Structure 1
Amino acid sequence: MILITGGLGFIGTHTTRTLLDLGESCLLVQRRPAVVPERFAGEAVVVEQADLTDESALLELGKRHEITGIVHLAGSMPWPPGAYEPLEGADKALRSLLNVFRAAGEWQVARVGVASTIGVYGGVTGQVAGEGALKEDVPLPMTAGHPIPAFKKIGELLGDHLAGTMGLDVVNYRIGAIWGPLGHAASPFFPAPQLVHAAARGTEPDLSTLRGGGRLGDGIDLCYAEDCGRAIALLQVAGRLGHRTYNVASGRLTTNEEVVAAIRKLVPDARADLPEGRDPAPAFWLDTTRLREDTGFEPAYDTERAVAGYLAWLRAGNER
């Protein structure tokens, strides 16, 4: 049985779906009361309530279930900003991560996967000549402009240290820009979700929360949620892996112009106008060679299929 923290969240739901399809059973852990959602009714899914900062509550799960692996997707950071005093927030973030490693050691699981983020590459651009794909071995700066990449870097370093000292098989997932069913309707980093939601509703997209990247020529490594979940699941069930860190992404740059074109192919009158041009800073995407070579992963969704799938899901009456 694979324990998934955050298993009922955005990426966790898609990861759970693929693990079930691969024949695995899943234990989903959340802080809210334990209820198996309708989408997993009748399947090999158990939901348990536990706070990851409570070591005894987490370890108790191992007495009730035979846990063979862990996929840690729940946030390991003081979030949302300002919700806790700085030291309290840091303590909660690190304690939950350390408890996951304590449990992994006690249960002797085969592999621990830990979610990281594309954000750890922030600041790398000055070290890379021109545009191109970022590989996992590029040196990362020891600074971060946001709590999420800051604590993800800490998590990667802790995982590397504990893998060696505890003899654990630890895998870091540097997750790209994920979008699709169950995701946020608005992203501050790329406009694709806003554009698709607006097209489904027949309204003007609200891009007021967008921090940048809102012109037609701007792009990012967009990865559809189902592809992301499948990549993480494949990393969990693969045999011996050759690396500790993997980029989980599409492995290509998707421009806003591509997204708009895909939307208008299905919704010709969609109000998806974006200004011409692009940000002058170099554009980057994530190199997925390691992921492809070690798991056989290939994205199943190009831009057109992703837009079509997302629109169909929204038009069926679904919302996040």
Structure 2
Amino acid sequence: MTWLITGGAGYIGAHVARAMTDTGEPVLALDDLSTGIPERLPADVPLVEGSTTDAGLLKRLLAEHEVTGVLHLAARKQVAESVAQPTRYYRENVGGLATLLEAVAEAGIERFVFSSSAAVYGDPGVDPITEDTPCAPVNPYGETKLAGEWLVRAAGRAHGISTVCLRYFNVAGAAAPELADTGVFNIVPMVFDRLTRDEAPRIFGDDHPTPDGTCVRDYIHVVDLAEAHLAAARRLDDRSGDLTVNIGRGEGVSVRELITVIGEVTGDRRPPVIEARRPGDAPRAVASADRAAEELGWTARRSVREMVESAWQGWLLHRGG
């Protein structure tokens, strides 16, 4: 059995590749290298450079490598960019998925894991967020992930493909410094970037209806997330049908609490600057993690401090600190 990981040279994809190969699962990576880094991949993982929009390439590699399951992580994922370039997001995230699923169905592959997002929920106003919470995404990125889930489930029913959709919450950390996220798009690297430039961290709004007035989020260590993909892949070996699962710790951490941990880890404890709320920021977004435990036998094991410590080591390596 060989698993294809699309987006396999990316931050999350490389961690998934490592989790799979560490347990003896043969893996093939596909990545267009727009953000992926080949050196992240284990040495024994073949890398094919290309896009999920390339039907001919997909057909060839699925056959040549005798792929029997797909972990689909390749996607554009920046909210602001999706607002500015919605057609690009729909073309690559939904169109690329459709092309991939057509190739998967033609090849007779029966296992498919889809990388989704908590962005499908929008601002649901419930705590905790369960998989049955109504979805109402508030940006094109979230819309493409929800449309992707619909497409995955529909293709699964039509072609006998067993599927799992994993709704990630906020991902941070690294298994090793060289695997760290090199982008500055999420809160942990954004705070690191401010501190490195000798600037105070920013908090957008301290008057939310939360215990300390700042937004509360559910953070998941990327290694735990990678292990969730492994658990999903193994579930598909044993059971058919479709499953949608939140991937989070089920615990809320406020922005102020997170910045305090970052200060302790980095040694830079300067107080944050309070700025106006950003439109669309939900006061609280925390997963119910019960279904993942019940259906996948998986629970997150790593703490927020471990996320910050490992991310900081990666930041120092990549930013030369």
TM-score, reference length from structure 2: 0.81
1:38-57 alignment runs, 5 A limit: 38-43=39-44, 45-57=45-57
Q: Which moved more, 1:76-85 or 1:64-73?
A: 76-85
Task: Please list the CA deviations of residues 16-56 of structure 1 after superposition, one character each: whole Å capped at 9, or x if unmatched.
Answer: 111111211211112249x993343532x010122211211
Residue 183 of structure 1 corresponds to 181
In structure 2, give the amino acid aligned to 1:170. Answer: T
In structure 2, give the amino acid aligned to 1:265. Answer: E
In structure 1, give the amino acid aligned to 2:120. Answer: V
Structure 2: gaps spanning 5 or more residues: 175-179
1:70-149 alignment runs, 5 A limit: 70-75=70-75, 80-81=81-82, 86=87, 90-125=90-125, 128=126, 132-141=127-136, 144-149=137-142
Structure 1: gaps spanning 5 or more residues: none
Matched, 1:233 2:230: yes
Q: What's the CA shift for 1:281?
A: 6.1
Matched, 1:195 2:191: yes
Q: Confirm or deny: 8 A CA contact 2:153 2:242 kept in the other structure.
A: no
Residue 150 of structure 2 corresponds to 157
CA distance in 2: counterparts of 1:276 and 1:185, whole angstroms: 23
Count of residue correspondences: 304
Residue 4 of structure 1 corresponds to 5
Q: Confirm or deny: 8 A CA contact 2:4 2:27 kept in the other structure.
A: yes
Relative to structure 1, is the Cα distance of residues 99 and 312 closer, same or farther in structure 2, using a 3 angstrom cutoff?
same
Q: Confirm or deny: 8 A CA contact 1:5 1:72 kept in the other structure.
A: yes
CA distance in 1: counterparts of 2:7 and 2:295, whole angstroms: 25
Q: Which moved more, 1:230-239 or 1:13-22?
A: 230-239
Residue 303 of structure 1 corresponds to 304
Q: What's the CA shift for 1:226?
A: 1.7
Relative to structure 1, is the Cα distance of residues 284 and 291 closer, same or farther in structure 2, using a 3 angstrom cutoff?
same
In structure 1, give the amino acid aligned to 2:6. Answer: T
Relative to structure 1, is the Cα distance of residues 29 and 264 closer, same or farther in structure 2, using a 3 angstrom cutoff?
same
Q: What's the CA shift for 1:184?
A: 5.3
Q: What's the CA shift for 1:113?
A: 0.9
Task: Please list the CA deviations of residues 74-122 of structure 1 after superposition, one character each: whole Å capped at 9, or x if unmatched.
Answer: 1178994488794x76445433111211222233324101111111111
In structure 1, give the amino acid aligned to 2:231. Answer: L
Task: Please list the CA deviations of residues 206-231 of structure 1 after superposition, one character each: whole Å capped at 9, or x if unmatched.
Answer: 64xx7668986322111122222221
Same amino acid, percent of matched pairs: 24
Q: Which moved more, 1:256-265 or 1:76-85?
A: 76-85
**Secondary structure at 2:286 match in 1:** strand
Relative to structure 1, is the Cα distance of residues 84 and 314 closer, same or farther in structure 2, using a 3 angstrom cutoff?
closer
Matched, 1:315 2:310: no
Q: What's the CA shift for 1:257?
A: 3.1
Residue 177 of structure 2 corresponds to none
Query: Could you say which structure has the higher helix fraction?
Result: 2
Residue 264 of structure 2 corresponds to 265
Question: Over aligned residues, Cα RMSD in angstroms?
Answer: 3.4
Q: Confirm or deny: 8 A CA contact 2:70 2:112 kept in the other structure.
A: yes
